Amino acid sequence: MIQGERLWQRLMELGEVGKKPSGGVTRLSFTAEERRAKDFVASYMREAGLSVYEDAAGNLIGRKEGANPDAPVVLVGSHLDSVYNGGCFDGPLGVLAGVEVVQAMNEHGVVTHHPIEVVAFTDEEGARFRFGMIGSRAMAGTLPLEALECRDAEGISLAEAMKQAGLDPNRLPQAARKPGTVKAYVELHIEQGRVLEEAGLPVGIVTGIAGLVWVKFTIEGKAEHAGATPMSLRRDPMAAAAQIITVIEEEARRTGTTVGTVGQLHVYPGGINVIPERVEFVLDLRDLKAEVRDQVWNDIASRAETIAKERNVRLTTERLQEMPPVLCSDEVKRAAEAACQKLGYPPFWLPSGAAHDGVQLAPLCPIGMIFVRSQDGVSHSPAEWSTKEDCAAGAEVLYHTVWQLAQRE
Domain co-membership, 75 together with 217: no
Domain that holds residue 205: 4-210+325-405
Write down the pLDDT at residue 82: 97
Domain co-membership, 75 together with 199: yes
**Binding-site residue set:** 79, 90, 125, 189, 380
Distance CA 74, CA 405 (A): 7
Write down the pLDDT at residue 4: 98
303: CATH: 3.30.70.360
49: CATH: 3.40.630.10
Domain co-membership, 225 together with 355: no
End residue of a domain, out of 322, 356, 382: 322
Domain co-membership, 316 together with 242: yes
Domain co-membership, 228 together with 202: no
Evaluate whether 311 touches 236 at the Cβ level (below 8 Å). yes
Domain co-membership, 318 together with 345: no
- Both ends of the chain: CA-CA distance in Å? 23
Domain co-membership, 25 together with 142: yes
Q: What is the total count of domains within the chain?
A: 2
Q: What DSSP string describes 322-362?
A: EE--EEPPHHHHHHHHHHHHHHTPPP-EEEE-S--THHHHT
Residue pLDDT tens, the chain, 409 long = 899 999 999 999 999 999 999 999 999 999 999 999 999 999 999 999 999 999 999 999 999 999 999 999 999 999 999 999 999 999 999 999 999 999 999 999 999 999 999 999 999 999 999 889 999 999 999 999 999 999 999 999 999 999 999 999 999 999 999 999 999 999 999 999 999 999 999 999 999 999 999 999 999 999 999 999 999 999 999 999 999 999 999 999 999 999 999 999 999 999 999 999 999 999 999 999 999 999 999 999 999 999 999 999 999 999 988 889 999 999 999 999 999 999 999 999 999 999 999 999 999 999 999 999 999 999 999 999 999 999 999 999 999 999 999 998 6
Domain co-membership, 176 together with 39: yes
Domain co-membership, 59 together with 163: yes
Domain co-membership, 147 together with 275: no
Write down the pLDDT at residue 409: 67
End residue of a domain, out of 291, 322, 353: 322
The CA–CA distances, whole Å, from 115 to 55, 72, 234, 308 equal 17, 7, 67, 58
**Binding-site residue set for Zn(2+):** 79, 90, 125, 189, 380
Task: Classify the C-alpha dihedral 142-260-79-189 as positive or negative.
Answer: negative
Cβ neighbors of 209 (< 8 A, separation 6 or more) are 288, 325, 326, 328, 351, 352, 354, 355, 356, 358, 359, 369
Domain co-membership, 294 together with 204: no
End residue of a domain, out of 322, 357, 372: 322
Domain co-membership, 254 together with 396: no
